[in-house]
Chains A and B, each alone.
Chain A
Amino acid sequence: MRTLLALAWVVIKELYRRKDFYVLFVLTALITLVLGSVNFFEDTLMVRYLREVTLLLIWVSALVIAVVTAARQIPAERESRTIFPLLAKPVTRGQVVLGKFLGVWLASGLALALFYGFYLVVGAWKAASGSLALGLQAFWLHWMMLAVVVALAILGSLLFSAPSVNSTICFVVVTGILLLAGHLNTLAAAQPGPGGALMYGLYFALPHLELFDVRDLMIHEHPPVPLGPLVIATLYAAVYAALLLVAAWWVFRRKPLST
């Protein structure tokens, strides 16, 4: 665990010292602040719309931070050749994968905490945030979903040579899952033959990231999610993240590293 924390610390330190991260962070925090604070219109629909926009912004920003950061971790280690002194220590490739995952996931969690913090505090101030408990649940579920996304991006970084290619593929896959995965069974039922079977296969194999999205509940001020589904969703994310990390480790351990 000490090794994993040390590796994660380097990831967070790098983000902390990178100016591009600050730009995204400050910009999104500012927009969140502005959008989250407006209940100027005195119109319920408008307030809901602004909440929706703000939450969408939080989702997009968190996704960008998580994917871009995760996608460059191992390629950057290889490109700058810092991987060599690292692996010359008693560190396994599995620990490198897990340490990188932990660092990016914690960093994404910090960013999310800030975004949701802004949303909830400013919303409470302007009486537009809805339930605090649901807000905290939304943060938790979002963070769990990011665990799957970060693991996916780390696996992608070992399969695709360029981080930009990997990031693009990750964005397309995650957006596709968020928009379509929940409807694949309906589509499969409507399509007979191998196409339908393939869609059923995808429906059961893909991680249903849309289940972690409780934005609609927040926008329409629903009560908090019961504890049971919350725990199941957490375990569901943990299983998918673990599977993806095992796959990443398997790919990485077979990769020769030439000095």
Chain B
Amino acid sequence: MEPILRTDRLRVEYPPSRRGDPPKVAVKDLSLEVRQGEVFGFLGPNGAGKTTTMSVLLGFLAPTAGEAYLFGVNVRNPIARQRIGYLPELTYYYRFLTAEEILRFYARLFGLNGVEAERRIDRLLKLVELEHARNRQLKHYSKGMQQRVGLAQALINDPDLLILDEPTSGLDPLGRMKVREIIQRLKQEGKTVFFSSHELGEVETVCDRVAIVHQGELKVVGRVDELVRTHQANLEQVFLKIIGYPTCLAA
């Protein structure tokens, strides 16, 4: 069965800041597969190459070498993004639009119109509990509300794969719980979720498998329960050990 998400020896280099310096390698020959119905955690410290990898998957960056595929379609082809939903780390939406307008706009980009689009907008605004503020411009929203609009827009096309970049970053405990609930619900619906997070407790709770990257290299990939059992430690301790902080592990 074709994996939903696949990277094949993916390499991303950034040009050096000074002439004569070597290029900065952000991702080193990353090969990864995410299968249908999985909740997959993509972990690593800051600067590990997570966001760069996501940028390639979403077509923001072209890889220096290697390839990436979504649903078997090369990510260079925009059709690869037809069945995905993406939630960025921070809320990047048109502040002059209302929640309803922004969802309608994104629905149109997926070719949804009329009754179907309106039905989905109503359902999603209810899901993220923003029905009461649907006609308010986003500039009047709190950060948590904007993040919920983000989640709604990521689901507007009823995606089979969700790519979430630190979805709970900056949210209060209630907001985090809500995001976790939505991820669990999507998993029950058979959707695939690929997300990065620094909240390892949360990752341990919701993920089936995780990959840990460090300095652009894939260090480990496997089932959460197996990693925890093999290392006789919780996921946070496993993570710290893999990226080279044994003192913390000992503590």
Contact = CB atoms under 8 A, between A and B. Distances in A.
Interface of A: 2-3, 5-6, 9-10, 13-14, 17-18, 80-92, 256-259
A14 B94 contact: yes
B92 A82 contact: yes
A10 B78 contact: no
B60 A258 contact: yes
Given A6-B105, A13-B97, A259 B88 contact: yes
Given A6-B108, A9-B105, A84-B92, A92 B78 contact: yes
A3 B82 CA distance: 13
A136 to B, nearest CB: 32
Nearest to A9: B105
Contact of B61 (A3, A89, A256): A256
Interface of B: 51, 54-55, 58-62, 78-79, 81-82, 84, 86, 88-90, 92-97, 101, 105-106, 108-111, 113, 137, 150, 153, 163, 165
B61 A90 contact: no
Nearest to A95: B78
A258 B88 CA distance: 12
Contact of A84 (B58, B96, B111): B58
A143 B96 CA distance: 27
A90 B88 contact: no
Contacts of B93: 82, 85
B109 A87 contact: no
A87 B88 CA distance: 12
Given A258-B60, A259-B54, A17 B88 contact: no
Given A87-B60, A88-B58, A2 B94 contact: no
Contacts of B110: 89-90
A14 B94 CA distance: 9
B55 A259 contact: yes
A88 B97 contact: no
A6 to B, nearest CB: 4
Nearest to B153: A85
A2 B92 contact: no
A18 B58 CA distance: 31
Nearest to B165: A259
A88 B78 CA distance: 9
Nearest to B157: A89
Contacts of B106: 85, 89
18 contacts: A6-B109, A10-B105, A13-B97, A13-B101, A17-B96, A18-B96, A80-B94, A84-B60, A85-B88, A85-B93, A86-B109, A88-B59, A89-B81, A256-B60, A259-B55, A259-B60, A259-B88, A259-B165
B62 A88 contact: no
Top-9 shortest CB links A-B: A88-B86, A6-B108, A81-B92, A257-B60, A89-B109, A90-B82, A17-B96, A88-B58, A90-B78
B109 A91 contact: yes
Nearest to B156: A89
Nearest to A253: B62
Contacts of B96: 13-14, 17-18
B84 A88 contact: yes
A258 B55 contact: yes
A80 B55 contact: no
B94 A87 contact: no
A91 B157 CA distance: 14
Q: Which one of A13, A17, A84 has the highest number of Cβ atoms from chain B below 10 Å of its Cβ?
A: A84
B234 to A, nearest CB: 29
A60 to B, nearest CB: 27
Contacts of A2: 108, 111, 113
A257 B88 contact: no
